[in-house]
Structure 1
Amino acid sequence: MAIEGFRQDFVETNGIRLSAHRGGAGAPLILLHGYPQTHMAWSRVAPGFARHFDVIVPDLRGYGESDAPPDDADHTTYSKREMARDIVGLMDSLGIGRAHVLGHDRGARVAYRLALDHPGRVARLGILEVVPTGDFWAAWSAELGLKAYHWTFLAQPAPLPERMILADGRAYVDWTLASWTRAGDLSPFADAALASYRAQFDVPARVAAMCADYRAGATVDRALDEADRAAGRRIGAPLRFAWAEAGFPAGTGDPLGLWRGWAEAVDGAVIPGIGHFAMEEAPEAVLETFLPHFLAT
């Protein structure tokens, strides 16, 4: 599944093979997708960014056409620290020293971990529809827990969630995607993107990888955030944050305030009239929100 005008390459990095799509010219901009998606989450905005930037759109480990290694007992294999190392290795393979990074959902968690662990590699940072992992867990209420039930469901010990999902994987992914949109249906998603997302749920190793991603979120990722907060570590790259007025971050009460506790320079904006999938529900708004941020000198 290719993004229009982009070419696909496979890169060996950090002990795995990543699939990455690339197009455009200029300063490098890396786009990182989330769950339950692939690089195709960016298919409606990547060409617009590519008019200004050298845009690289990988599949995260476990997703799309990238390798899906088995998890380890401590869930470090799918920690955002390990995924950030994948992106550093991708940059090294492409001869990129420093890049802008924009992430959505799980990709945003990889993006801010990259900025914390490898500050010299991130020029400007964009975050879509998440607050930091530790802060999200700390903000849970009954309402947020019901809305974000997948955080606890997918993190259950293997093979419970895997077996339940694989019983009817395509129905599960369709329901998940539709329920997180403002419209409550699949209308925001292009046919090619839907095909890419659905295909993952036919592959047991990919379903296991997605569960491992959330097991890491409940354990090692949360611990890393707590350690960074205790040490006073902050993101140095200028950070722009955007969220949906009724999305997951909004349920924390003050999502922009949470990010201001993590970074030196933060601004943000609500994208109105959308659900969780901003790039597909409001692609022009995403470009209008982030292009000025990444074009700033």
Structure 2
Amino acid sequence: MFQGFSSARVDLDEVSLHVRRGGRGVPLILLHGFPQNHRAWGPVAQGFARHFDVIVPDLRGYGASDAPADDAGHTVYSKRRMARDIVALMDHHGLEKAHVLGHDRGARVAYRLALDHPGRVDRLGVIEILPTADYWRAMDAGLAMAIWHWPFLAQPAPLPETLIGARPGWFIETLMTSWTRAKSLAGFDPQALDSYRAQAADPAHLAAMCADYRAGASTDRDHDEADRAAGRRLSAPLHVLWARGGFPARAGTPRAAWSAWAEQVTDSPCDSGHFVMEEAPAAVLDAFLPHFRAG
């Protein structure tokens, strides 16, 4: 699925990231979500590479990238820290600016990158999220049942690690199946699914994924609230792709929510579950090729 892409480990200031790269043109960085890794972009990577220099890392704690231990303040997997990894990756490749597109947790890294380093992001795209603080503010019984994994994974260690670690493959399959529109994993690449199962079965990466959500419930939320109070907004043109059967549609109106955070917002819905790249790859390309090519 990444035919023509290189594969390398890149040593950065704090971590080493596994990175794939392919295509030519203006750089476009693709950031994956939970419980996946860079392979989530497989169905659309070549479509983007026909127009852009596509860079697809495994985020820290995921895939073949390093998974450092968390700290007491849950800063190691804060989206601010993870965004700095991407800035360091850009510096490594000599890139002053890039388009950035993220899905799920990667979308949280993407918008934090654009808030903290506005001069480094040309155009921004997010798939299937609302801002972290908005979700916590909207957390009623219905939303809590829909995104139950947020408070579960954020519980103090080693509670979620122990429970998931008893049957990691079952956990990944059950979770992902429930988030698809068809309630099936039939549309996923088998090698990608194997990599997600293996990731959850590795204690260091499982702890990292839980730490990602602990940061979301604390440090990331605090950063968002501080930005809201200070009136900081995204200056990069933003396009939001959301699934009619996904999470943002259950928590509010995606375009209205993002308009409070960004100066320029467009959006588009699609018929999909949460895993839009695998479930509706054409919708991803249709939404974001025009957005990024406009830059």
Give the counterpart letter for 2:35 in structure 1. P
2:277 aligned residue: 279
Distance in 1, Cα, partners of 2:165 & 2:148: 18
Cα deviation, residue 201, structure 1: 1.4
Distance 2:124 2:32 in 1: 14
Aligned to 1:159: 158
What is the letter of the counterpart of residue 89 of structure 1?
A
The letter for the 1-side match of 2:237 is: P
Matched residue, 1:258: 257
| DSSP-derived class of the 1:123 partner | strand
Aligned-partner SS, 1:125? strand
SS for the counterpart of 2:123 is strand
Deviations, residues 53-82 of structure 1 (Å, cap 9, x unaligned): 000000000000000000000000000000
Partner of 1:289: 287
What do residues 142-181 of structure 1 show as CA deviations (whole Å, max 9, x unaligned)? Answer: 1110010000000000000000000000000011111100
* Paired residue total: 295
CA distance in 2, matches of 1:245, 1:141: 20
Correspondence 1:128 to 2:131: no
Counterpart position of 1:29: 28
Secondary structure of the 1:45 match is helix
Give how far 1:246 is off. 2.1
Q: Give the deviation of 1:208 after TM superposition.
A: 0.2
Partners in 1 of 2:13 and 2:160 — Cα distance? 27
Question: 2:209 and 2:173 mapped to 1: Cα distance?
Answer: 16
How many angstroms apart in 1 are the aligned matches of 2:283 and 2:254?
19
Calculate the TM-score normalised by the size of structure 1. 0.98
Q: Distance between the aligned counterparts of 1:269 and 1:285, measured in 2?
A: 9
What is the Cα deviation at residue 192 of structure 1?
A: 1.4
Q: What is aligned with 1:194?
A: 193
Looking at structure 1, the residues matched to 221 and 184 of structure 2 have their Cα atoms a distance apart, in angstroms, of 32
Residue 174 of structure 1 is matched in structure 2 by 173
Distance in structure 2 (CA, Å) of the matches to 1:70 and 1:159: 13
User: How far apart, in 2, do the equivalents of 1:4 and 1:132 lie?
Assistant: 33
The separation in 1 between residues aligned to 2:141 and 2:165, in whole angstroms, is 28
Tell me which stretches of 4 or more aligned residues in structure 1 moved more than 3 Å: none
Equivalent residue letter for 1:141: D
Structure 1 CA distance, aligned partners of 2:161 and 2:187? Answer: 27
Residue 10 of structure 1 aligns with which residue? 9
In structure 2, list runs of 5 or more residues that go unmatched.
none
After superposition, the C-alpha distances for 1:173-230 in whole angstroms (9 at most, x for unaligned) are 0111111000111112111111111110120000000000000000000000000000
After superposition, residues 73-222 of structure 1 pair within 5 angstroms as 73-222=72-221
- Cα-Cα RMSD: 0.8
Contact 1:105-1:129 at 8 Å conserved across structures: yes
